[in-house]
Structure 1
Amino acid sequence: MSTTGAPIEQEASSQEATPEPASSVWRWWKSLASEDRAGRAELRRCGTVGDVAFTASYHRLLQWLGSRLGEGDARRVAVAAAVLAHVEKEPRERTSLASQMARPKGDAQGAAVSDARFRHLLRNEEPDDMLRELVRAVRQLDRSASVDRLFIDVVRWDERTRSRWARDYYEALPSKKKA
């Protein structure tokens, strides 16, 4: 059964006293950098969703998220957990990872992530492939990503999210100067 992450979406918009998923994820990510450095290193070494499932840090994130997960979301949360372990800082602007990928890196002229690699990422639906491609993208972006946005996008990885990423990427591409 396919899931679109609707339970997380619904929970994120509710006004209940429990913390929203994004704040839980952000706190979990911050704890990886301070209290759980061994857990962070363990997640960074994970090459598959199956590897992630055997880590304590992933299960701690699941506990923090609690009942917000819909059926099938746990695999995407595993992808997000492993990718977020590679994130060391957040960008000044809270933009999608797709927007960051389109921006030039340093003095370069073109996008930080090539158009071909970006399109390959958008076509990925298999969790292990997504994990590999997203880790590669985060590394290319100097390990910078908006933690909460990346988490929500990975968990909700569907046609709508991919379409928004395509729009974000192509709108953020540097315009080519005419000679």
Structure 2
Amino acid sequence: MSETFPRLAWWQSALADREHPHARALAARLIRADVVSALSEPAVYRLGQHLSLLERPDLLARIAMTLAVIRTNSADSFARAAGRAISPQRFERLLRAEEDELAHQLRRALPMIDRRCNVERLANDLQFWTDSTRARWVIEYHGGRLEAETDIPLSAEDISL
């Protein structure tokens, strides 16, 4: 798994290829899962080991369950894509949400942006949901770009697994 983009590498190996029966089945289980069911998945446990999140099982489950909804990795952050498809009121509710509610609202909002966004960035934002993250989301939602934004690869060819 790529040390630089571990969330993306995990998503690509576990969930991205929905033509593969294992990826399709894991995604379906995670989409319907509660926290304990999600944590019971060996792939989720491996993600937790790699991200050092086994001490925060609820957060680990929320990340995995949210990533299971994404079908396509794209250059657009969730917030940038949301700016084209999600009402300001719904977006504001997302910004105010915490923990379980945030993940739940994201899973409901992802179909509105065609289940496509930057996987690594969204997972990282879920893991580190801070006021700085919220502020960056507001800027991106309104079409801005921060100079400090880093490019995150879109495919396995762009990272070393």
TM-score (normalised: structure 2): 0.75
Answer yes or no: is the 8 Å Cα contact 2:45–2:54 preserved in 1: no
Instruction: Confirm whether residue 62 of structure 1 aligns to residue 24 of structure 2.
Output: no
Which residue number corresponds to residue 85 of structure 1? 68
RMSD of Structure 2 on Structure 1 (CA): 2.2
TM-score (normalised: structure 1): 0.68
Q: Residue 130 of structure 2 is aligned with which of 151, 155, 158?
A: 158
- Pairing 1:29-108 to 2, within 5 Å after superposition: 29-31=11-13, 32=15, 33=17, 34=20, 35-46=22-33, 48-63=34-49, 65=50, 68-69=52-53, 72=56, 74-91=57-74, 94-103=75-84
How far apart are the structure 1 equivalents of 2:73 and 2:2? 21
Answer yes or no: is the 8 Å Cα contact 2:44–2:61 preserved in 1: yes
Could you give the per-residue CA deviations for residues 61-115 of structure 1, whole angstroms, max 9, x where no partner exists? 113x15x44954x432321211111111122xx2221111001xxxxxxxx1110
Which residue number corresponds to residue 89 of structure 2? 116
How far apart are the structure 2 equivalents of 1:160 and 1:71? 24
SS in 2 for 1:81: helix
Change (3 A) 1:145 1:158: same
How far apart are the structure 2 equivalents of 1:155 and 1:69? 9
Change (3 A) 1:50 1:166: farther
Answer yes or no: is the 8 Å Cα contact 1:79–1:130 preserved in 2: no
SS in 2 for 1:171: coil
Q: AA paired with 2:30?
A: L
Larger Rg: 1
* Structure 2 portions without partners, runs of 5+: 145-161
Instruction: Give the number of equivalent residue pairs.
Output: 139
Answer yes or no: is the 8 Å Cα contact 2:53–2:59 preserved in 1: no
How far apart are the structure 2 equivalents of 1:51 and 1:168? 33
Q: AA paired with 1:87?
A: I
Q: AA paired with 1:119?
A: E
